[in-house]
Chains A and B, each alone.
Chain A
């Protein structure tokens, strides 16, 4: 029934072209000067195309209606007209010039990353984003939020519509101040990704070994969402981007809070944890960072991703296990040394060695992890 309703509304919209906030039919003008300029350019070319289309299709429809044999049309015999052919070569050329000029202007604007107020380095990972604030050292990862992550598993059949911002929500959004020109540097750690927030008007590839740049200046505080736009493997579709644009004052408060948190993390890494604490934390980390490939039940995917359950690494030498998690292995297993804190790594390794029936009894402390870095 739900599907049917979907379908009928869908067909209805298509027939009557009724614009509705939920079903966007067009680009959004966005929230920056650049995005509005791009939107205007888009509308300008769209209307030129529509005008040409009306002309060409009009001629065709007229011929089809009036020059049909069944209406007794007698075929003419002309098959050449040099003047006409020259005219319809030159006119399109002039139209193209009229498009090229504003296009050039907007492109120059898009490339102008000078005079920025701050710089954020964005690194693409399979499948998360890392944001490093080059001005104040804040550095964190941003991944698909837990609710979407749960609902998107194959065969789960929980209703995505019940999940707020399904697939467009992250655990920690990028935070930037409103009214400031923010310069972004893009690179990637494994494969090519592409960072795209439609309301900013552009996307930019994040390429390993390269640094590319782009900029934005958002006028109004608000939350803006996007997704990775370059095929980057299995979870390409699950790599959202959320940007929380705060007023300058709120942004300042956020920066302070981040700094305090960083200090607390340093303190945490020096603590000793109990098995229960590590297991609970470890499960959380596992489900967020590992389950995508090794699966929630630890059984992995045949031929693709090894099982954790009963694995020779998770039940073998502890140092090797830690190495694999911290430094990664082969082309597919990412290094988590950067993206997880020592506490998280200690917890997840403990969880892997004791969960899934592995029962090794090993207890890994954050200090064991820090000692290896």
Chain B
């Protein structure tokens, strides 16, 4: 069914980059490096995103290990405090914008057209641009490390007035943010247009796979908030170089205004990293429980509510700036509300497992760890939403523990789950299940050794973003650092598993997972799928 006739190709493939070639060789990609530079094929672009994300994950991870090495014991051992601050800032920017977001965009590129029965993304040439902006942005960001005064050191939130004290890096860092924003907005537009215009006939909105739904909602969040961030950092730029005083109190400006603008972006941003994870997990659990997803429509509504609520709770990051009492209480109540749709999602996942016939291949293991550990991050999130209690938690290691539970065993584990789940589809080869399981167990144990003690550190009074600490915090910091190194090095197993699967191995069947074709169109295609798929639209039941 996937082998289309030549006439059909001619109709559907006008957008293929090498359309001027002989009609007969557009079945496969062009040869050589130019294939990757000029490609407009959604699968190629998906691969580019995924590879970039993996490299960035390693770079950001290496920076995290610099941080954790310095924090292994009290006293300053390896790095100057200023360099330490540069590391925390770059680590965060790279993990957020370089690893997690591009990885999900990579999933979207690969899977959304295959899942909705579309031959490609709607705007393939823009898709090429959205990707190729990224490497330049990251090179520019990395180059700040070698500038006078070093890289940005004000934390990924880039709060003024501190960030304005920075030297040569500032315009570069801000331009990087602009590029990343452009890339994300273009990517988001592409996803929205693809999903709304390119669905196969019969694929109604309420039949969309949940992964597609979560990405559509994420794309709307991106389009709404990235311009706000771009605006805020542009105001920083004019404050620094053109004598404006948006955020400069001495000139009549307001440093807290920046925080409101930043978090209006920054809070939805954390959902941008987590909503697609919800989609991935909602795809994987039904497959390995051999049961349909429980409460599909409530999952869709819950995701949409979370998306909406994420816009009206930003100031819960600012409980200590001295907002009026009414504001403080409003943000408390609104934030607490997010627990309701999030709870619905967790209950639905548990109900999907309930009375299933579960097996525990690597993707399922990561998915289960996601549900357990993300929920823990959710609990600490609920605790932090209560403003009076947050007066203690704010800016301590409790926060660091919280957001790493939602970002590492949350977003990153969902990425691993998805990668193992679709790797056989992408490469045509089964990955090494033994190594996959080893990767899972090492990661899961060490991630807890790494982040769990940080709850204690925060409650005991250790502020975040400090390069050295009082001796009473030594034990838990030592533990946390050991966990970090085990976690970090375990990721090399993953890299090896991916390389091995690309290079060969047991052939994967089309369905790959028992009964998977009931759970998504992608499993009706061959493994690996041909370069062009769905040149004729599939039948949707």
- Listed in ascending order, the chain A residues whose CB lies under 8 Å from chain B are 3, 6-7, 9-11, 13-14, 22-28, 37-38, 41-42, 45-46, 49, 52-53, 56-57, 59-60, 63-64, 67-70, 73-81, 84-85, 88-89, 92-93, 96, 99-100, 103-104, 106-108, 110-111, 151-161, 165-168, 186, 190-192, 194, 196, 198, 201-205, 207-210, 212-213, 226-238, 301, 303-304, 331-332
User: Closest residue of chain B to A159, judged by CB?
Assistant: B75
**Contact A69 B357, beta carbon cutoff 8 Å:** yes
**How many interface residues does B have (CB within 8 Å)?**
106
Task: Beyond the given A79-B293, A100-B332, please list 9 additional residue pairs across the A-B interface where CB-CB is below 8 A.
Answer: A42-B392, A49-B382, A74-B357, A75-B356, A76-B291, A79-B295, A191-B165, A208-B255, A212-B322
Residues of B contacting A84 with CB < 8 Å?
A: 351
Binds A, one of B43-51, B199-207, B406-414, B451-459: B451-459
Q: How far is the CA of A45 from the CA of B192 in the complex (A)?
A: 39
Residues of A contacting B329 with CB < 8 Å?
A: 104, 107
Residues of B contacting A161 with CB < 8 Å?
A: 74, 471
Q: How far is the CA of A57 from the CA of B164 in the complex (A)?
A: 47
**Contact A198 B162, beta carbon cutoff 8 Å:** no
Q: How far is the CA of A209 from the CA of B348 in the complex (A)?
A: 49
Q: How far is the CA of A78 from the CA of B449 in the complex (A)?
A: 38
**Contact B387 A107, beta carbon cutoff 8 Å:** yes
The 3 closest A-B pairs by CB, nearest first: A209-B249, A212-B322, A237-B466
B283 to chain A, nearest CB (A): 14
**Contact A26 B343, beta carbon cutoff 8 Å:** no
B253 to chain A, nearest CB (A): 8
- Listed in ascending order, the chain B residues whose CB lies under 8 Å from chain A are 72-77, 79-82, 85, 147-150, 153-155, 159, 161-162, 164-165, 167, 249-250, 253-256, 289-296, 298, 320-322, 325, 328-329, 332-333, 336-337, 339-340, 343-344, 346-348, 350-360, 368, 371-372, 375-376, 379, 382-383, 386-389, 391-392, 394-396, 449, 452-453, 456, 459-461, 463, 465-472, 474-476, 478-479, 482
Residues of A contacting B478 with CB < 8 Å?
A: 3, 6-7, 10
**Contact B371 A331, beta carbon cutoff 8 Å:** no
Q: How far is the CA of A261 from the CA of B401 in the complex (A)?
A: 46
Q: How far is the CA of A234 from the CA of B164 in the complex (A)?
A: 14
A92 to chain B, nearest CB (A): 5
Residues of B contacting A158 with CB < 8 Å?
A: 75
**Contact A53 B375, beta carbon cutoff 8 Å:** yes
User: Closest residue of chain A to B352, judged by CB?
Assistant: A79
Q: How far is the CA of A204 from the CA of B392 in the complex (A)?
A: 10
Residues of B contacting A74 with CB < 8 Å?
A: 357
User: Closest residue of chain B to A30, judged by CB?
Assistant: B392
Task: Output the residue of B383, B469, B471 with the most chain A CB within 10 A.
Answer: B471
The one of B371, B376, B460, B467 that contacts A60, using a Cβ cutoff of 8 Å: B371
**Contact A201 B392, beta carbon cutoff 8 Å:** yes
Residues of B contacting A110 with CB < 8 Å?
A: 388, 391
Given A10-B478, A73-B357, A151-B75, A203:B321 Cβ within 8 A:
no
User: Closest residue of chain B to A107, judged by CB?
Assistant: B388
Residues of B contacting A301 with CB < 8 Å?
A: 80, 82
**Contact B463 A152, beta carbon cutoff 8 Å:** no
**Contact A209 B250, beta carbon cutoff 8 Å:** yes
